[in-house]
Amino acid sequence: MDLGLSGQVAVVTGASRGIGLAIVRALAAEHVQVVAGARGTSKDLDELAGTGLVRTVTADLATAEGPARLIGAAGDRIDILVNNVGGAAVRTSGFLEITDEEWERTLNLNLMATVRTTRAALPRMLAAGRGSIVNICSVNSILPDPVVIDYCASKAAVANFSKALSKEVGGQGIRVNTVSPGPVTTDLWMGESGVAASLAQAGGMAAEDVVDAAARNSVTGRFTRPDEVADAVLLLASDRSGNTTGADITIDGGLITTW
């Protein structure tokens, strides 16, 4: 299927690894010019930059200045914005041990980075009369979990923000949608200090057992791959979904049961 994305300009946040890297790779494969923003680079991202389709911009998106710096580096044209940057800390000590500073850090990275980057990019889209914004959300926006309580709250806010903005700008040619993955085979879950390792340490078990237990909660019995999330993002970014806005695509292997 030709998505008709060739020649467009995209900005992707949190682009150096995991889901963000997969999105950059998928966009570049469609001959999209990608501006990849991250606090640091990676070997894989540097290799994509060598293709000539990807330009990396080092920016700390958790700061007030970082998003504007990234968007400024993208130039006057932005057809696609993918807000992917985010993170989750495991709170095995319980709600009462989470400080204001930790709440603020989570909300700043998961919510305000999306808000600020969107605010910086939106005028370019409005001037062009078209654009697609895809925000990476999470099943935890509607599936609260006390061990990532602040992450859940921040992703619920991203979902609400995205839906509200879609109503404001939909009549001006701008579509805003979200993709909500369940557990994905990235460092957030599988890394040395990821969710699985943190839960394993707290529970006195092996990280592999934590992963296996989480996978069994899905109908498919496995985690989602980053490239599967990227495929959904590309569909929402393209005019193949030209009348889709305010929507959410859940990719969780059937983790959340619905009628």
Positions marked catalytic: 151
Instruction: For residues 223 and 253, give the distance between their C-alpha atoms in angstroms, rounded to a whole number.
Output: 7
Which CA distances in Å does 30 have to 7, 22, 106, 139?
9, 13, 33, 28
Q: Which long-range contacts (CB under 8 A, 24 or more apart) does 236-240 make?
A: 236/132, 236/134, 236/175, 236/177, 236/179, 237/3, 237/5, 237/10, 237/27, 237/80, 237/82, 237/132, 237/134, 238/3, 238/4, 238/5, 238/132, 239/4, 240/1, 240/3, 240/4
E strand intervals along the chain: 9-13, 33-38, 54-58, 80-83, 131-136, 174-181, 248-251
